[in-house]
Structure 1
Amino acid sequence: MRFHIAACGLAFVLGWTAMGLAEESEGLTPEQQQAVDALKALGGNVMPIAQNDDRLDITLHLADQDVTDEHLALVAQLPKVAWLNLAGTKITDAGLQHLAGLTTLEKLHLEKTAITDAGLEHLKGLKSLVYLNVYGTKVTDAGLKHLYGLKNLRHLYVWHTECTPEGIMKLVAKFSPLEVVGALELTPAEVPAEEPAAEEEKTEGDN
């Protein structure tokens, strides 16, 4: 009985995996399938974001080999890329130009990479972007200006960057709503207590 249950469970897992692979390969050109195979050879993961959603979730932050700018050219060949995780990879600002055409991209992880303001300029056309993580990068207020046109942006992670409260507030003013995680707490300036006028003190003293 236990063997039967285990066998059924294994069959379910194998069936789900096969279904995922079938969905992943469906509709891809030979060149696109080669790109998928190359990304997987790095130790990356490419799969649909859900059983009934053929948009792609590409994860490269745990790859066995160094992921560099040239590998982003492979990502650019694939259709319907919705989620992309490049955290901790060896990509540079120049490599992000390969992502400029990913108009379906909604979630992008760039944390702990060498990305700077120049790299964010390549993201200006990603109008579907909802989530962006630049934690631990050299991004500054100047880079945040490249995000002003991304009206769907709702979550931004800027912890351990060069962004200032002033730059963050200018960005937040462009969106409604926008959650900025890692921003310094902005507190209003403390208004000093009013001191009694010298004349009043003198008058009271005379009385």
Structure 2
Amino acid sequence: MGISEPSLLLFLGRLHPLVLHFPVALLIAVVIVEVFARFRGITNSPIFQSTIYFILIVGALSAAVTAAMGWSLAHHGGYVGDTIYWHKRFGLAVALLAILALLFKRLSLQKKMASFKYAYTTTLFLCVSAIFVTGHYGGMLTHGDNFLSSAAPEPMASWLGKTTNRAATDKYLTTDTFTTQIEPILKHYCYQCHGESKQQGGLNLNKQDMALAGGDSGVAAITPGSALNSEAIRRLFMLRENKKAMPPDGKPRPSAEELVALMDWIENGAPWAGEASGPSTFLADILGENAEPADATAIEMLRRTGASVKEISKTNPLLMVNLSLHSYSPQQLTQLLAPLKHNIAWLNLSNNKITKEVSELISECSQITQLILSNSALNDDLIAPIAQLKHLVVLNLTSNEISIDGVNEVIGLPRLERLYLWKNPIETEQLDQLKLAYPSIKITSNIALVQTNASATKRRKTPVKTSTKNIEGVEL
């Protein structure tokens, strides 16, 4: 992870997004005016021809300057891969074709060389076509490879390169934690500067080996098993004025729930796509050895509502159920989950209101090893039934109204190893007492994160400021 050193070439390169619209508008305007003039029969007007010629001069020169700035930005901005390769070449093609169009226009204005008007028309058409292709690749660099294709209808989406592999595109229909939870966060907040097309500071978070190795600084961005020792997490907690804070330049930061997901993933070994790790996975595999397959009709009914339902693995029929993508009424939750209550190993009910009936149903899900109840209006009166889940390993209670009394209801679960108490009304002293009483349980909360980051800051030779107030509106 790092920041490019300031330089004149880098500064000029970063002006590229500011000036590129100028030649684009001029060159497209030439085409529009030429077509309009032909319909109106005024193409032979000296004033018209002089105006078009002047616009072409400005458009061609500005296209050349824009292309030069773009190449400087590509060279000094950490961009790599096929997308930048083609963006650069089509951008150069725009500049060259604009200059050729200007040359042919000048020749066609001479009486003995009027035939050059056909070469001018063809070159101008190719130039504008190259503008659209260049813009497409530029959009991919800025917003991701599927920026245009993801919103396009078929068959245009396939023509633009959208993948047709259902397993690859529908992140909600897979049991892969990285694909379902982590990769969307990295794509939204990180890949723009640290992905396949651009590797600011030499860091690529799109590849496992590169992410673990770190960037030019030599510090690992991700340290499997230790979120608070991972440079990526540390920089997410730096104050905005620190030039090393990520994401930079006032760009939005992950929400509290997304930060919890990132840290949980790292704590469980940072498994990449297709991998499995973490104690909840191991226990689920053991429980699934003698489990019966779930009712296919009940699974299909749940999927039709937009929920994600998949078996833990090919050899484990227990289910991973994610209902956080939509809002369900308490009655719907009980009706949909009741037929599957003995088949669920992972259950995510985030963003759905938990009532007494739903809480009691959860307590009957005897095989659950991982339970996520973030932002579910859970309180002390509703949490008691969850204490019956004897196989529960991971419990996420982020963004609820759980006090220390509610925590005491569940913290004695025999297999509990991870407990998330982010944004709950628990005092610092109470949290310290919990950690002393239950040293085998990793407890993550906003209070703990601020304290740990503050301690890490003191140990560093160069102090790093960490925020204790808010992260994009998330109160710590």
TM-score with structure 1 length normalisation? Answer: 0.69
* 2:421 corresponding residue in structure 1: 158
Q: Higher relative contact order at CA 8 Å, sep ≥6: structure 1 or structure 2?
A: 1
The one of 381, 396, 418 equivalent to 1:118 is 381
Structure with higher Rg: it is: 2
Structure 2, unpaired ranges of 5+: 1-163, 169-174, 176-291, 453-476
Does the alignment pair 1:60 with 2:323?
yes
The one of 329, 335, 338 equivalent to 1:76 is 338
Does the alignment pair 1:88 with 2:356?
no
Q: Matched residue of 1:159: which SS? A: coil
Q: For residues 27 and 94 of structure 1, do their structure 2 counterparts lie closer, same or farther at Cα, with a shift above 3 Å needed?
A: closer
Distance in 1 of aligned mates of 2:437 and 2:383? 17
Distance in 2 of aligned mates of 1:43 and 1:162? 33
Does the alignment pair 1:128 with 2:391?
yes
Deviation at 1:126, TM superposition (A): 0.2
Contact 2:399/2:422 (8 A) holds in 1: yes
The one of 33, 41, 65 equivalent to 2:304 is 41
The one of 137, 155, 167 equivalent to 2:430 is 167
Deviation at 1:174, TM superposition (A): 4.6
Contact 1:82/1:104 (8 A) holds in 2: yes
Distance in 2 of aligned mates of 1:174 and 1:72? 35
2:408 maps to a residue whose letter is: K
Contact 1:81/1:105 (8 A) holds in 2: yes
Contact 2:373/2:398 (8 A) holds in 1: yes
Does the alignment pair 1:140 with 2:399?
no
Distance in 2 of aligned mates of 1:151 and 1:72? 27
CA-to-aligned-CA distance 1:80-104 (integer Å, 9 cap, x gap): 2100011112333442111111121
Distance in 1 of aligned mates of 2:356 and 2:414? 22
Deviation at 1:127, TM superposition (A): 0.7
Deviation at 1:150, TM superposition (A): 0.3
The one of 94, 102, 105 equivalent to 2:365 is 102
Q: For residues 38 and 69 of structure 1, do their structure 2 counterparts lie closer, same or farther at Cα, with a shift above 3 Å needed?
A: same
* 2:313 corresponding residue in structure 1: 50
Distance in 2 of aligned mates of 1:80 and 1:173? 35
Deviation at 1:69, TM superposition (A): 1.8
Deviation at 1:165, TM superposition (A): 2.8
Q: Matched residue of 1:184: which SS? A: helix
Distance in 1 of aligned mates of 2:347 and 2:411? 21
Q: For residues 133 and 118 of structure 1, do their structure 2 counterparts lie closer, same or farther at Cα, with a shift above 3 Å needed?
A: same
Distance in 2 of aligned mates of 1:118 and 1:27? 34
TM-score with structure 2 length normalisation? Answer: 0.32
Q: Matched residue of 2:447: which SS? A: coil
Q: Percent identity?
A: 25
Distance in 2 of aligned mates of 1:38 and 1:61? 16
Distance in 2 of aligned mates of 1:170 and 1:128? 24
Aligned-residue RMSD, C-alpha:
2.7
Write 1 or 2 for the structure with the bigger share of helix: 2
Deviation at 1:47, TM superposition (A): 0.9
Structure 1, unpaired ranges of 5+: 1-8, 14-19, 21-25, 188-207
Write 1 or 2 for the structure with the bigger share of strand: 1
Q: For residues 27 and 158 of structure 1, do their structure 2 counterparts lie closer, same or farther at Cα, with a shift above 3 Å needed?
A: closer
Deviation at 1:176, TM superposition (A): 4.2
